[in-house]
Structure 1
Amino acid sequence: MMSGTTTSHASEPGGGLFYVMGPSGSGKDSLLRALRERLGHSDRIVIAHRYITREADANEASVALSADEFHRREALGCMALHWHSHGLHYGIGIEIETWLAQGLRVIINGSREYLHQAVKRYPALCAVHVRVRPEVLGARLRQRGRESEAAIAARLARATQPFAVPAHCRLIELDNSGDLNVAVENLATIVAG
């Protein structure tokens, strides 16, 4: 479960939190990697790394932790947000609050299931839902080779189901079915806002 604090975390003018979410295989990690590679020295955008209890993929901004270390850091208050999904623990470090206070635009790789908890802690966040056409998503999941056909079918079914969006949460849909460069440009425009 994510942190349940309900306090608002203000930021300096020009900053903001962008909560990128979407089904597995929608290309969130590729989008964030491509955007990170485009950032210049003076760009006031930070893509937060995610703590996760599995080995990190080279394409993602993640730091692998053992389950024991993850829970230790959680207990010490090192996680601003944390959740459990598909047998793994995910977390976003408390350092994002320092970045927000400095007026930076902070992007995190979140989960649709835990959007409500994120909005409780950061009511002004902007949610960005990355979606892809089902046939593209299926092809990407098969190409990764991580799951059985049954697991892929379950992910595809889940990807097309609606999800709850908290009242007053700003939600932007971002299509990533085609050229990655187009989607990255659209994400950059959203964050520059």
Structure 2
Amino acid sequence: MNRARLYYVMGPSGAGKDSLLAYARSRLDGARADAVPVLFAHRYITRAPSEGENHIALSHAAFALRHSLGCFALDWHSHDCRYGIGIEIDAWLAAGANVVVNGSRAFLGQAVARYGERLHLVEIRVDPVVRAMRLASRGRETGEALDRRVAHTVSWIPPEGIPLSVVDNNGPLEAAGDRLVAILMSQAPH
């Protein structure tokens, strides 16, 4: 029986998702949770990569071409960029691997529609003051663009029947990272 799950990690910009995913990837990539491999998907994004981020930069034209060819299992538009998760994750799930993706709360409906009972949500939470400091320190935006990013919030309601785990990322990276690793290594029944 294929028990593979899609772990959909989400949270606001500045919550530390990339740092936490890099931490977990360094400890788990290719590891097995109860004999199920754990694989981390990269994103395709129409901007240059940032330090610690697992993504492939594409031009808007290259993204549009891949989109038209059906190369994305999930895709969305946010903060003037296009984001995609490649269809390779479908093959990984079919082969029996757990897959971890850096998703978006605003476009969670796509993941629910496509992966349903295979989905396990992981929400990264952070204090607004800590988040604002992180956004400012990463230097992607300044001035009004930074103010808009800090003010941006997404309201969402966890879908019924889909497991949700929460990681508080206000303290040391290791504490939140170990919590994420523990979630990814667990094998709760479907």
TM-score where L is the length of structure 2: 0.88
SS at match of 2:49: coil
CA separation of 1:167/1:42 partners in 2, compared to 1, >3 Å: closer, same or farther?
Answer: closer
Deviation at 1:85, TM superposition (A): 0.7
Q: Which runs of 4+ in 1 moved over 6 A?
A: none
Pair 1:69-2:62 in alignment: yes
Whole-angstrom distance in 2 between the partners of 1:158 and 1:58: 22
Deviations 1:50-81, CA, capped at 9 Å, x for gaps: 00011111311100111111111111111100
CA separation of 1:170/1:39 partners in 2, compared to 1, >3 Å: closer, same or farther?
Answer: closer
The number of aligned residues is 181
The equivalent of 1:82 in structure 2 is: 75
CA separation of 1:42/1:186 partners in 2, compared to 1, >3 Å: closer, same or farther?
Answer: closer
Deviation at 1:127, TM superposition (A): 1.0
SS at match of 2:158: coil
Kept in 1, the 8 Å contact 2:29–2:38? The answer is no
SS at match of 2:84: strand
The equivalent of 2:11 in structure 1 is: 22
Pair 1:12-2:5 in alignment: no
SS at match of 1:173: strand
Pair 1:145-2:135 in alignment: no
Whole-angstrom distance in 2 between the partners of 1:142 and 1:12: 43
Equivalent residues in 2 for 1:24-173 (5 A)? 24-39=13-28, 42-43=31-32, 44-124=37-117, 125-159=119-153, 162-173=155-166
Amino acid corresponding to residue 116 of structure 2 in structure 1: P
Deviation at 1:139, TM superposition (A): 1.1
CA separation of 1:79/1:126 partners in 2, compared to 1, >3 Å: closer, same or farther?
Answer: same
Whole-angstrom distance in 1 between the partners of 2:150 and 2:175: 23
Amino acid corresponding to residue 18 of structure 2 in structure 1: D
Amino acid corresponding to residue 114 of structure 1 in structure 2: F
SS at match of 1:164: coil
Whole-angstrom distance in 1 between the partners of 2:78 and 2:179: 28
Deviation at 1:39, TM superposition (A): 2.4
Gaps of 5+ in 2: none
TM-score where L is the length of structure 1: 0.87
Deviations 1:102-145, CA, capped at 9 Å, x for gaps: 11110000011001121011112011110111111111111112
Whole-angstrom distance in 1 between the partners of 2:175 and 2:67: 37
The equivalent of 1:187 in structure 2 is: 180
Amino acid corresponding to residue 19 of structure 1 in structure 2: Y
Whole-angstrom distance in 2 between the partners of 1:59 and 1:127: 22
Kept in 1, the 8 Å contact 2:72–2:84? The answer is yes
Structural RMSD (CA): 1.7
